Amino acid sequence: MRTKLKNNENVVLLIRPHWLTLVLPSLYVIVAAILGALIGSYGYFIPLALMCYLWYKIVQRNNNLWAVTNLRVIDEDGVFSHNSKESPLDKINNVTYSQSIWGRIFGFGDVQIQTAAEVGSTSYHTIEKPKELKDTITQMQEEYKKSQIMSQALELANAISSGTKSQSKKDVSAEIEKLFELKQKGILTEEEFTSGKKKILGEAD
Protein backbone atom coordinates (compact mmCIF):
# COMPACT_ATOMS: atom_id res chain seq x y z
CA MET A 1 0.00 0.00 0.00
CA ARG A 2 1.38 3.38 -1.05
CA THR A 3 -0.91 5.73 0.90
CA LYS A 4 0.75 7.07 4.03
CA LEU A 5 -1.08 6.16 7.21
CA LYS A 6 -2.00 8.75 9.81
CA ASN A 7 -0.89 8.71 13.43
CA ASN A 8 -2.50 5.86 15.38
CA GLU A 9 -3.95 4.42 12.15
CA ASN A 10 -3.78 0.67 11.56
CA VAL A 11 -4.69 -1.41 8.51
CA VAL A 12 -7.29 -4.02 9.43
CA LEU A 13 -8.02 -5.56 6.00
CA LEU A 14 -6.56 -5.44 2.47
CA ILE A 15 -8.72 -6.49 -0.49
CA ARG A 16 -7.82 -6.74 -4.18
CA PRO A 17 -9.65 -7.73 -7.39
CA HIS A 18 -10.22 -11.47 -7.57
CA TRP A 19 -7.62 -13.65 -9.32
CA LEU A 20 -10.26 -14.50 -11.94
CA THR A 21 -9.59 -11.06 -13.45
CA LEU A 22 -6.29 -12.53 -14.69
CA VAL A 23 -7.83 -15.57 -16.40
CA LEU A 24 -8.72 -13.82 -19.67
CA PRO A 25 -5.29 -12.18 -20.13
CA SER A 26 -3.67 -15.56 -19.42
CA LEU A 27 -5.83 -17.20 -22.07
CA TYR A 28 -4.74 -14.53 -24.54
CA VAL A 29 -1.12 -15.49 -23.93
CA ILE A 30 -1.83 -19.20 -24.43
CA VAL A 31 -3.72 -18.59 -27.68
CA ALA A 32 -1.00 -16.23 -28.88
CA ALA A 33 1.68 -18.82 -28.12
CA ILE A 34 -0.19 -21.40 -30.20
CA LEU A 35 -0.61 -18.95 -33.08
CA GLY A 36 3.03 -17.96 -32.84
CA ALA A 37 4.12 -21.58 -33.11
CA LEU A 38 1.93 -22.04 -36.20
CA ILE A 39 3.11 -18.86 -37.90
CA GLY A 40 6.80 -19.47 -37.40
CA SER A 41 9.80 -17.49 -36.21
CA TYR A 42 8.32 -13.99 -36.38
CA GLY A 43 5.09 -15.24 -34.87
CA TYR A 44 6.67 -15.38 -31.44
CA PHE A 45 6.45 -11.59 -31.20
CA ILE A 46 2.71 -12.02 -30.69
CA PRO A 47 2.90 -14.00 -27.41
CA LEU A 48 5.78 -11.78 -26.27
CA ALA A 49 3.59 -8.70 -26.64
CA LEU A 50 0.71 -10.38 -24.84
CA MET A 51 3.01 -11.53 -22.04
CA CYS A 52 3.86 -7.86 -21.49
CA TYR A 53 0.11 -7.22 -21.36
CA LEU A 54 -0.32 -10.02 -18.80
CA TRP A 55 2.51 -8.60 -16.69
CA TYR A 56 0.76 -5.20 -16.81
CA LYS A 57 -2.53 -6.75 -15.62
CA ILE A 58 -0.76 -8.56 -12.77
CA VAL A 59 0.88 -5.34 -11.56
CA GLN A 60 -2.44 -3.51 -12.00
CA ARG A 61 -4.24 -6.06 -9.84
CA ASN A 62 -1.53 -5.88 -7.20
CA ASN A 63 -1.77 -2.08 -7.03
CA ASN A 64 -5.58 -1.96 -7.17
CA LEU A 65 -6.60 -2.43 -3.55
CA TRP A 66 -9.04 -1.42 -0.85
CA ALA A 67 -7.67 -0.99 2.64
CA VAL A 68 -9.90 -0.80 5.70
CA THR A 69 -8.28 0.97 8.64
CA ASN A 70 -9.56 2.03 12.03
CA LEU A 71 -10.18 5.52 10.54
CA ARG A 72 -11.13 5.19 6.86
CA VAL A 73 -11.47 3.08 3.73
CA ILE A 74 -8.68 3.71 1.22
CA ASP A 75 -9.13 2.95 -2.49
CA GLU A 76 -5.84 2.78 -4.45
CA ASP A 77 -5.03 2.01 -8.07
CA GLY A 78 -2.53 2.84 -10.79
CA VAL A 79 0.48 1.18 -12.42
CA PHE A 80 2.62 4.05 -13.66
CA SER A 81 0.59 6.60 -11.71
CA HIS A 82 -0.85 6.53 -8.21
CA ASN A 83 -4.52 7.28 -7.59
CA SER A 84 -5.95 7.26 -4.10
CA LYS A 85 -9.42 7.98 -2.71
CA GLU A 86 -10.56 7.70 0.88
CA SER A 87 -13.88 7.46 2.67
CA PRO A 88 -13.79 8.34 6.40
CA LEU A 89 -15.68 5.80 8.48
CA ASP A 90 -18.02 8.43 9.91
CA LYS A 91 -19.02 9.52 6.38
CA ILE A 92 -20.05 6.05 5.21
CA ASN A 93 -23.82 5.65 5.35
CA ASN A 94 -24.28 2.12 4.04
CA VAL A 95 -22.31 -0.85 2.71
CA THR A 96 -23.85 -3.65 0.66
CA TYR A 97 -22.45 -6.62 -1.22
CA SER A 98 -23.77 -9.11 -3.78
CA GLN A 99 -22.56 -12.48 -5.03
CA SER A 100 -23.76 -14.65 -7.87
CA ILE A 101 -23.75 -18.43 -7.62
CA TRP A 102 -20.31 -18.49 -9.26
CA GLY A 103 -19.20 -15.73 -6.96
CA ARG A 104 -20.12 -17.79 -3.92
CA ILE A 105 -18.25 -20.78 -5.32
CA PHE A 106 -15.06 -18.93 -6.25
CA GLY A 107 -15.20 -16.24 -3.55
CA PHE A 108 -15.78 -13.02 -5.47
CA GLY A 109 -18.52 -10.42 -5.69
CA ASP A 110 -19.45 -6.75 -5.85
CA VAL A 111 -19.46 -4.19 -3.03
CA GLN A 112 -21.21 -0.83 -2.97
CA ILE A 113 -20.27 1.90 -0.49
CA GLN A 114 -22.64 4.84 0.00
CA THR A 115 -21.15 7.96 1.57
CA ALA A 116 -22.32 11.40 2.57
CA ALA A 117 -19.93 12.93 0.03
CA GLU A 118 -21.00 14.46 -3.29
CA VAL A 119 -19.97 11.28 -5.13
CA GLY A 120 -22.80 9.46 -3.36
CA SER A 121 -21.91 5.82 -3.90
CA THR A 122 -19.03 3.81 -5.31
CA SER A 123 -19.24 0.26 -6.64
CA TYR A 124 -16.38 -2.24 -6.73
CA HIS A 125 -16.78 -5.23 -9.03
CA THR A 126 -15.29 -8.74 -9.01
CA ILE A 127 -13.35 -8.30 -5.78
CA GLU A 128 -12.21 -11.02 -3.42
CA LYS A 129 -13.95 -11.60 -0.07
CA PRO A 130 -16.82 -9.11 -0.57
CA LYS A 131 -18.68 -10.17 2.60
CA GLU A 132 -15.53 -9.84 4.71
CA LEU A 133 -14.96 -6.35 3.31
CA LYS A 134 -18.53 -5.32 4.13
CA ASP A 135 -18.44 -6.83 7.64
CA THR A 136 -15.05 -5.30 8.42
CA ILE A 137 -16.18 -1.81 7.41
CA THR A 138 -19.29 -2.17 9.60
CA GLN A 139 -17.24 -3.43 12.54
CA MET A 140 -14.71 -0.60 12.23
CA GLN A 141 -17.55 1.93 12.08
CA GLU A 142 -18.92 0.65 15.38
CA GLU A 143 -15.50 0.72 17.03
CA TYR A 144 -14.84 4.19 15.65
CA LYS A 145 -18.13 5.52 17.04
CA LYS A 146 -17.39 3.96 20.40
CA SER A 147 -13.88 5.44 20.53
CA GLN A 148 -15.25 8.85 19.59
CA ILE A 149 -17.88 8.86 22.33
CA MET A 150 -15.33 7.65 24.87
CA SER A 151 -12.94 10.39 23.83
CA GLN A 152 -15.73 12.94 24.14
CA ALA A 153 -16.71 11.55 27.53
CA LEU A 154 -13.15 11.85 28.81
CA GLU A 155 -12.87 15.41 27.56
CA LEU A 156 -16.15 16.34 29.22
CA ALA A 157 -15.11 14.58 32.40
CA ASN A 158 -11.97 16.73 32.51
CA ALA A 159 -14.16 19.83 32.31
CA ILE A 160 -16.54 18.89 35.13
CA SER A 161 -17.03 21.69 37.63
CA SER A 162 -15.84 21.47 41.22
CA GLY A 163 -19.39 20.64 42.32
CA THR A 164 -19.17 17.25 40.61
CA LYS A 165 -15.65 16.31 41.70
CA SER A 166 -17.03 13.64 44.02
CA GLN A 167 -17.88 11.62 40.95
CA SER A 168 -14.74 10.16 39.38
CA LYS A 169 -13.91 10.66 35.71
CA LYS A 170 -14.03 6.90 35.23
CA ASP A 171 -17.59 6.74 36.58
CA VAL A 172 -18.72 9.61 34.33
CA SER A 173 -17.21 7.94 31.26
CA ALA A 174 -18.79 4.60 32.15
CA GLU A 175 -22.24 6.14 32.59
CA ILE A 176 -22.06 8.02 29.31
CA GLU A 177 -20.87 4.85 27.56
CA LYS A 178 -23.90 2.99 28.92
CA LEU A 179 -26.20 5.68 27.56
CA PHE A 180 -24.47 5.51 24.19
CA GLU A 181 -24.93 1.73 24.03
CA LEU A 182 -28.64 2.17 24.76
CA LYS A 183 -28.88 4.73 21.94
CA GLN A 184 -27.09 2.35 19.57
CA LYS A 185 -29.58 -0.38 20.40
CA GLY A 186 -32.47 1.99 19.65
CA ILE A 187 -33.70 2.10 23.24
CA LEU A 188 -32.89 5.82 23.60
CA THR A 189 -33.41 8.55 21.04
CA GLU A 190 -30.74 11.15 20.25
CA GLU A 191 -32.59 13.69 22.39
CA GLU A 192 -32.85 11.29 25.33
CA PHE A 193 -29.16 10.47 25.04
CA THR A 194 -28.20 14.16 25.03
CA SER A 195 -30.47 14.89 28.00
CA GLY A 196 -29.10 11.94 29.97
CA LYS A 197 -25.53 12.98 29.26
CA LYS A 198 -26.22 16.48 30.56
CA LYS A 199 -27.72 15.07 33.75
CA ILE A 200 -24.64 12.92 34.33
CA LEU A 201 -22.41 15.94 33.89
CA GLY A 202 -24.58 18.04 36.17
CA GLU A 203 -25.55 20.41 33.36
CA ALA A 204 -29.29 19.75 33.46
CA ASP A 205 -31.62 21.96 35.46
Taken in order of first residue, the domains within the chain and their CATH numbers are: 11-138 (2.30.29.30), 139-200 (no CATH)
Burial environment of residue 145 by CB neighbours within 10 A (0 to 12, 13 to 18, 19 or more): middle
Share of the chain above pLDDT 70, in %: 83
**pLDDT at position 122 over 60:** yes
**Torsion sign over Cα 122, 128, 131, 137:** negative
Alpha helices in the chain (DSSP H): 23-39, 45-63, 101-106, 130-158, 169-184, 190-200
Residue 102 has pLDDT above 90, yes or no: yes
75-84, 110-119, 141-150, 169-178: segment of lowest average pLDDT: 169-178
Q: What is the pLDDT of residue 163?
A: 47
Residues 1-6, mean pLDDT to the nearest whole number: 86
pLDDT at 204: 41
**How do residues 133-190 score in pLDDT, each as one tens digit?**
999 999 999 988 888 877 776 666 665 544 455 455 556 777 777 777 777 777 767 7
Top-confidence residue, 27 or 195: 27
Percent of the chain with pLDDT over 90: 37
